Amino acid sequence: MSCIYMTGRQFKMCNAVEGSLVLSLDELSGKCLSDQYHICKIYQRYHAKGMKIPLIEYQRGLTVNKF
């Protein structure tokens, strides 16, 4: 089972981040496509607060550790 916030067909995107975040192969293979998607920092924050992470915050790495 893959992450419930992952969308897209040709380009996989994270719907828990505001704006357009195209997921890297490392992100996809690390958590997004695995049964362990719930340990992802993005998933945890969105699930806990019910708000999308601002794209600029994700890019700066202020709330998310490397996958």
Confidence of residue 7 (pLDDT cuts 50, 70, 90): very high
pLDDT at residue number 18: 92
Is the confidence at residue 49, as pLDDT, over 70? yes
Backbone φ and ψ of 2, nearest 5° = -105, 170
pLDDT tens by residue, 15-29: 999 988 888 888 888
- Are the C-beta atoms of residues 5 and 42 closer than 8 Å to each other? yes
Checking if the pLDDT of 41 tops 60, the result is yes
Q: Say if CB 65 and CB 41 are below 8 A apart.
A: yes
Question: Read out DSSP for 14-62?
Answer: ETTBSS--BPPHHHIIIIITSTTGGG-HHHHHHHHH-SPBPHHHHHHTS
